[in-house]
Amino acid sequence: MPAIEVLPTIYQPALRQINDLRHTRLDVRFDWDKKHLIGKAVLTLQPHFYAVDSLSLDAKSFDIHSLELVGVGTKPNVPLRYTYRDSLVLDIKLDRSYRRDETYQIAVSYTAQPERLVNHPSGRFHYDNKGLYFIMPDSLNPSKPYQIWTQGETFSSSCWFPTIDAPNQKTTQEITITVADKYKTLSNGKLISSTANPDGTRSDYWKQALPHAPYLFTMAIGDYAVIKDKWRDIEVNYYVEPPYAASARAIFGNTPDMLTFFSQRLGVDFPWEKYSQAVVRDFIAGAMENTSATLFYERLQRDERELLEGNDDDIIAHELFHHWFGDLVTCESWANLALNESFATYGEYLWFEHKYGRDEADAHLNKDLRTYLSEAEQKQEPIIRYYYSNADDDLFDAHSYQKGGRVLHMLRYYVGDEAFFAAIAQYLKAHSFKTAEINDLRMAFESVTGEDLNWFFDQWMMSKGHPELDISYNVDTTKGYAAVIIQQTQAQEKSISIAYQH
Ligand SMILES: [Zn+2]
């Protein structure tokens, strides 16, 4: 039996910003047999504050064909010296020092090899974090469709393009995807053009003019039926396998109503250029909120009869809510993941409350309580955690999701509806297309309510545990009252409060 590796728990800061990623231009095609991506990346960068003469890019298990500084005007490109640390990080020496009022461009030609990454000597890589996935028929499932899709969160976008793979980077994006003409493609932003090539392939050019974090980049490629819907003047599309074309609206059809409801409730309109949702095979999670191009696991594909047993509004609402909490305002580090996930989980509650009523929403929240309490028997952590070993393994749990959603619900109850949504709107507007940490959220609530809320955030976001209560009562029939005795029994603190109820 292999020894279980116990990693030390260490302080996990936000990545120090030395160079800022401004724009990412990608040109990709594929070798399906080898499961390779053949890519060219042109990155526009700018020193964050201090002058720089070097640049580090995450690029996991690539073959690098060329790495050049892009010449300005008529100047030719210049090859740059670099070392490739553990086949994971390119440490690049620039041609000179750059100041913060200057930008520069790096062009990288490469082949990304996600399967080789799985055999990386560090042992850190496996199916769930190799970033780029080739799906095809196999002996177990000869009818499996051909698909390519990506999964970037948390550090896996750099498995298919060179980048600064951290949530506190934001970049605009262009990508040209070349595939056999029979396949549809999906990426972030808008499809600007499709060009037929002489070799029978087609090149789709997607552009997102609004900045977002590298972990939210995506591609989905396959034989899809694309069902077109609409919200205001933006496209809302559903990508399903052709046999599910007839039920796509039954699966995803509440999306335009959700867009209206969330835009109004949050006081900030859905900010992106389109909204597409695609189902992919063998996905590593339930879904992923890639900006304007959410991917879902195949269990969403159900026919109308199966949908009579219930819909998937919870997961659809969750991913859509991320487009404000996560995609528009991004946690500055994974320690603050709850700023993405607690809100997305609470988005499910808000949709249920709006669409199906308070009872349905409360029942959903009660399920969340049970999920958290069950996990709490195994581990108890602060919702915001700067100390952990591995973001993927440690943070995506019932603390960040279900407990965090319930704490937001409690905060709403404490400050009142009007203050709650005013504070959230203030937080969203102040940090749009930027990042935030938990203190930014607290400050927005303090600004709106006028109250110092350190006590609340310290207790519920920054400390672990929850109240453990013994509740008993005595009825005094002669005096006509009942004494309800609530005793907190958790180890950290003890207090008794007695409430009388006539
Ligand atoms: Zn989520």
Looking at the structure, tell me whether residues 94 and 189 fall in a common domain.
Answer: yes
Please say which residue of 323, 348, 377 terminates a domain: 323
Spatial contact of 173 and 188, defined as CB atoms under 8 Å apart: yes
Q: What is the pLDDT of residue 502?
A: 54
- Is the domain of 318 the same as that of 336? no
pLDDT band at 424 (very low <50, low <70, confident <90, very high): very high
- Same-domain pairing of 294 and 314: yes
Residue with tokens 């005795």: 485
Cβ neighbourhood burial of 316 (10 Å; 0-12, 13-18, 19+): buried
The tokens of 154 are what? Answer: 């948390």
The closest of 269, 268, 264, 274 to 234, measured between CA atoms, is 274
Cα–Cα distance between 351 and 372 in angstroms, integer?
A: 21
Position 304 in a domain: yes
pTM for this entry? 0.95
Q: Is 81 helix (H, G, I), strand (E, B) or coil?
A: strand
Q: Is residue 6 part of a domain?
A: no
* Alpha-carbon gap, residue 42 to 27, rounded angstroms: 9
What are the residues whose beta carbon lies below 5 Å from ligand 1 (ion)? 341, 344
CATH, residue 102: 2.60.40.1730
Question: How far is it, in rounded angstroms, from Cα 240 to Cα 368?
Answer: 29
**What amino acid occupies position 390?**
N
- Residue 37 belongs to what H/E stretch? strand 36-47
pLDDT band at 8 (very low <50, low <70, confident <90, very high): low
Is 1 within a domain? Answer: no
Ligand 1 midpoint to CA 106 (Å): 33
> Ligand 1 centre and the CA of 345: distance in Å?
7
Contact at 8 Å (CB) between 278 and 296? yes
Ligand 1 center–CA 472 separation, angstroms: 38
Q: How would residue 498 be classed by pLDDT, with cut points 50, 70 and 90?
A: very low
Residue carrying the six token digits 């890639």: 290
Whole domain around residue 283: which residue ranges? 224-323
Query: Which residue is associated with the tokens 């670099």?
Result: 82
What's the 169 CA to ligand 1 centre distance in angstroms? 19
User: pLDDT tens digits for 64-109?
Assistant: 999 999 999 999 999 999 999 999 999 999 999 999 999 999 999 9
Cα 181 to Cα 222, 276, 491, distances in angstroms: 10, 20, 64
- CA–centroid distance for 231 within its chain: 22
Residue 494 above 80 pLDDT? Answer: no
Find the helix packing angle between 338-356 and 313-321, rounded to 10°.
Answer: 130
Q: Is 10 domain-assigned?
A: no
Bridging pattern class, strands 190-196 and 201-212: antiparallel
Digit-coded pLDDT (tens) for 296-343 = 999 999 999 999 999 999 999 999 999 999 999 999 999 999 999 999
392 assigned to some structural domain: yes
Using the Cα atoms of residue 57, residue 62, residue 64 and residue 70 in order, give the sign of their dihedral: negative
Based on the structure, what is the number of domains in the chain? 4
Rounded distance from Cα 337 to ligand 1 centre (Å): 9
Name the H helices within 230-327: 248-252, 255-266, 313-321
Instruction: Examine residue 338 and state whether it is found in any structural domain, yes or no.
Output: yes
pLDDT 10s digits, 24-76: 999 999 999 999 999 999 999 999 999 999 999 999 999 999 999 999 999 99
Q: Which residue has the tokens 């302080």?
A: 11
Peptide bond into 154 cis (omega under 30): yes
Per-residue pLDDT band for 490 (boundaries 50, 70, 90) equals: confident
What spacing in Å lies between the alpha carbon of 216 and ligand 1's midpoint? Answer: 12
Distance, CA 201 to ligand 1 centroid (Å)? 35
- CATH number, domain containing residue 313: 1.10.390.10
Domain end point (choices 274, 292, 323):
323
Torsion of CA 240, 216, 424, 371, to 10 degrees: 70
Token couple for 48: 């964050």
The DSSP code for 402 is I
- Whole-number Å distance between alpha carbons of 317 and 141: 31
Average pLDDT score over the chain: 95
Residue 341 Cα, ligand 1 centroid: separation in angstroms?
A: 5
Residue 66 CB contacts under 8 Å (≥ 6 apart), including other chains: 79, 107, 108, 109
Structure tokens at 356: 């199906």
Output the CA 447–ligand 1 centroid distance in Å.
27
262 plus 339 within the same structural domain: no
Taking the CA atoms of residue 285, residue 291, residue 295 and residue 300 in that order, the dihedral angle to the nearest 10 degrees is 100
Decide if 292 contacts 272 (C-beta within 8 A): yes
Same domain, yes or no: 58 and 126: yes
Domain final position from 178, 206, 221: 221
Distance in Å, CA 349 to ligand 1 centroid: 13
Q: What spacing in Å lies between the alpha carbon of 338 and ligand 1's midpoint?
A: 9
Determine what percent of the chain falls in helix, strand and coil, rounding each to the nearest 5: 30, 35, 35
Shared-domain flag, residues 210 and 110: yes
Q: Domain for residue 309, yes or no?
A: yes
CA–CA distance, 46 with 501 (Å, rounded to integer):
64
Whether residue 400 contacts residue 363, with contact meaning beta carbons closer than 8 Å, is answered with: no
> Which residues 6+ apart lie within 8 Å of 405 measured at CB?
342, 343, 345, 346, 348, 349, 365, 368
* pLDDT given at position 2: 46
Rg of the Cα trace of the chain? Answer: 25
| Residue 99 and residue 164 share a domain | yes
Q: Which stretch of 160-174, 200-214, 345-359, 467-481 has the lowest confidence by average pLDDT?
A: 467-481
Give pLDDT, residue 491.
77
Cα-to-centroid distance, 369 and ligand 1 (Å): 17
Please indicate, yes or no, whether residues 181 and 286 belong to a single structural domain of this protein.
no
Q: What is the C-alpha separation between 300 and 430, in angstroms, rounded?
A: 35
Q: How far is the CA of 181 from the centre of ligand 1 (A)?
A: 33
Looking at the fold, whether 453 and 385 belong to one and the same domain comes out as yes
Give CA–CA dist 471/196, Å, rounded. 71
Verify that 119 and 150 share a domain, yes or no: yes
Answer whether residue 7 shows pLDDT above 90.
no
Residue 487 lies in a domain: yes
Same domain for 259 and 402, yes or no, is: no
Distance from C-alpha of 466 to C-alpha of 434, rounded to nearest angstrom: 32
Tell me how far the alpha carbon of residue 368 lies from the centroid of ligand 1, in angstroms.
Answer: 14
Where does residue 310 fall: left (phi above 0), alpha (psi -120 to 50 degrees), or beta otherwise? left
Q: What single letter denotes the amino acid at residue 279? A: V
Residues 344 and 486 in one domain: no
Residue 139 pLDDT > 50, yes or no?
Answer: yes
Cα 461 to averaged position of ligand 1 atoms, centre (Å) = 18
Distance (Å) from CA 456 to ligand 1 centroid: 24
What's the rounded Cα separation, in Å, for the pair 311 and 301? 11
